[in-house]
Amino acid sequence: MHSGRSYSRWRLLMVPPRFGAENMARDSALQTRAARTGETVFSVYSWSKPTLSFGRNQPARGRYDLRKIREAGIDIVRRPTGGRAILHRREVTYSVTGPVDEAGSLRDTYARINRILQKGLSRLGILVEAVPRSRERTLSGVRSCFETPSEGELVAGGAKLVGSAQWRENGALLQHGSILVADDQSSLPDYSASASREGESIPAPATLEALLGRAPGAEEVANAMFEAVRTLEDPDATELPEDEVRRDALERVPHFVNEDWTWRR
């Protein structure tokens, strides 16, 4: 990724629903691939089973009730990027991986990826804006990633629609995030280890369903985002077959199913 229009090659990846550990393993594999190939990949995917994901360094041990989560039929995974908890059920996830050479600061690339997201959402008929820089409030306990928008995150009508986080390692970046189709995030307090937080009310996020009056599928969202990539970054962006990265992804799955990683904090 470079300033202005990118001269690096972009690839586009639409992945069928996979379980949480494989989704995270694939993002990790794509990040490693970016450092090796110099290609930037914009991928869109969904989840084969409802999954609660924790941010890379989010405290979770002793704050979430594993029994409640399992009884609800929800899987658990920890993301390689930061941020707070997300319930992946009625949402679409995107990821961007690319080399960091000449990519600019984390803030610059975050804003640049935001422009793609904004362009893609506008193709769906939704106008969003980025939250300006401000003094952020620290939240603790069982909190949703969508409860309070942070600087640079995308909101519609003041409510957060897209939650994103970026991680850089070994010469490559990974940014991924969720675009909410409907609101499942308000249920997160129900899985708290603290009985006093059960049923706690938290602010409702924005959703595609509420904004459009219908629930677009992952393929429709992906097509809008891919056209945005071609418009803003690389008019010759081509599809990346999942087979090119899946073997490497599957080799990384054990890391993301390891309880020591999931409950590292």
Say what percent of the chain tops pLDDT 70: 87
145, 173, 206, 249: which one is catalytic?
Answer: 145
> How far is the first Cα of the chain from the last one, in angstroms, to the nearest whole number?
33
The whole-angstrom separation of Cα 229 and Cα 112 is 11
Query: In 3-state terms, what secondary structure has residue 147?
Result: coil
Q: Do 151 and 133 form a contact (C-beta atoms < 8 A)?
A: yes
Radius of gyration of the CA atoms of the chain, in A:
17
| Predicted local distance difference test score (pLDDT) of residue 196 | 57
Verify whether residue 65 is a known catalytic residue. no
pLDDT, average across residues 109-115: 93
| Whole-number average pLDDT of the chain | 89
Cα–Cα distances (Å) from 213 to 33, 124, 125, 208, in that order, read 39, 12, 11, 8
pLDDT digits (tens, 9 = 90+) for 192-204: 998 655 556 667 8
Rounded Cα distance between 81 and 61, Å, is 18
Query: With bands split at pLDDT 50, 70 and 90, how would you rate the model's confidence at 220?
Result: very high
- Per the CB < 8 A criterion, the answer to whether 103 and 47 are in contact is no
- The predicted model gives 162-184 an average pLDDT of 94
CB 167 within 8 A of CB 176: no
Q: What is the DSSP letter of 191?
A: G
Do 174 and 80 touch, CB atoms closer than 8 A?
yes
Q: What are phi and psi of 95, to 5 degrees?
A: -145, 150
Domains, the chain, ordered by start: 10-243 (3.30.930.10)
Q: In angstroms, rounded to a whole number, what is the distance separating the alpha carbons of residues 85 and 55?
A: 6
Looking up tokens 């586009």, which residue turns up?
12
Could you give the 3-state DSSP secondary structure of residue 18?
strand
d(CA 13, CA 82) in angstroms, rounded, equals 22
Q: Which residues pair with 91 in a beta bridge?
A: 180
The per-residue pLDDT for 1 is 47
pLDDT for res 131 = 84
Window from 77-81, 89-93, 186-190, 251-255 with minimum mean pLDDT = 186-190
Say yes or no to pLDDT of 251 above 50: yes
CB 2 within 8 A of CB 230: no
Span 223-247, pLDDT tens digits = 999 999 999 999 999 999 999 999 9
The neighbour count for residue 13, using CB atoms within 10 Å, is: 21
The pLDDT, as a whole number, for residue 3 is: 44
Strand order of the sheet with strand 86-88?
75-78, 51-54, 86-88
DSSP 187: G
60-to-66, 85, 254 alpha-carbon distances in Å = 10, 9, 20
What's the confidence (pLDDT) of residue 134? 61
DSSP state at residue 96: E
Q: How many residues does the chain have?
A: 265
Q: Tell me, what's the pLDDT at 179?
A: 96
Percent of the residues in the chain that have a pLDDT greater than 90, as a whole number: 75
